[in-house]
Amino acid sequence: ILNVEQSPQSLHVQEGDSTNFTCSFPSSNFYALHWYRWETAKSPEALFVMTLNGDEKKKGRISATLNTKEGYSYLYIKGSQPEDSATYLCAFSSAGGTSYGKLTFGQGTILTVHP
Amino acid sequence: DADVTQTPRNRITKTGKRIMLECSQTKGHDRMYWYRQDPGLGLRLIYYSFDVKDINKGEISDGYSVSRQAQAKFSLSLESAIPNQTALYFCATSDPGQGVTGELFFGEGSRLTVL
């Protein structure tokens, strides 16, 4: 079973604060790392899919970095807004074996942005 | 209308009953998945299907079965529901043209309560 860990489990910030959270995953047989944003009562939606060591992706105020050699990814939110409040999920896929083609999700980081 | 539709959205049932959760998609994707989400845990894969003739067990398939009736339809059954199957269930699709683990597109979830 692949272990994907996210930290912190939850985070409360004030509007305008910048924040970041971490996803740790196995560093061997890496294929891809996904980030999803899941708002209450909605479906999870993909933010980023990253496949190369050193990848940096950006969408508006949200960005992510990837280090496959040490097995971690950071998600950054600059100038948090209340509408950024959501659960942020990362998911890892392995290149081979029985994990081929499947994503293993972390438990998520719950972000609450207070006005 | 949602591209990935799940029915029912909410269901309360009793221990021992047979339950079917249905998923249909209009995205034209070959790959479909069923995940389960429990508080404090990540999304866990129950079953997945890479095409109509291909069905695979995920990490927590015991107590569940699936049917891929067509490219667009993938149903999850609980043959004899038990209380620890109370959870939020998500159907998802992905496009193999996006790579082995392309971005997942999720339905809106089916909340199942087993009394």
pLDDT digits (tens, 9 = 90+) for A24-42: 999 888 889 999 999 988 9
- Test B100 with A104 for CB contact under 8 angstroms: no
State both tokens at B56: 């695979």
CA B38 to chain centroid, in Å, comes to 14
Q: Is B88 in contact with B110 (CB distance < 8 Å)?
A: yes
How high is the pLDDT of residue A97?
57
What single letter denotes the amino acid at residue B55?
I
Which B-chain residues 11-70 have CB contacts (< 8 A) with chain A?
31, 35, 40-45, 48, 50, 58-59
Q: What is the mean pLDDT of residues A30-55?
A: 92
Q: What is the pLDDT of residue A93?
A: 86
Q: Do A102 and B108 touch (CB under 8 A)?
A: no
Among A25, A33, A21, A3, CA closest to A108? A21
Q: How far apart are CA B21 and CA B73, in angstroms?
A: 11
| Structure confidence by residue, pLDDT tens digits, B97-108 | 666 568 899 999
Q: Is the pLDDT of residue A83 over 90?
A: yes
- CB distance from A87 to chain B under 8 Å? no
Question: Which pLDDT score is estimated for B114?
Answer: 97
How near does any CA of chain B get to the CA of A79, in Å? 26
Tell me the per-residue pLDDT of A65-82, one tens digit each, with 9 for 90 and over: 999 999 999 999 999 999
Token duo for residue B95: 């496009």
Q: Is B80 exposed, middle or buried (0-12, 13-18, 19+ CB in 10 A)?
A: exposed
DSSP conformation class of A97: G
Does the beta carbon of B97 lie under 8 angstroms from any beta carbon of chain A? no
Quick one: closest CA in B to A10, which residue? B40
A103 vs B42: CB contact, 8 Å cut-off?
Answer: no
The region of weakest confidence among B80-84, B92-96, B103-107, B111-115 is B92-96
pLDDT at A29: 82
Q: Does A105 contact B101 at a Cβ distance shorter than 8 Å? A: no
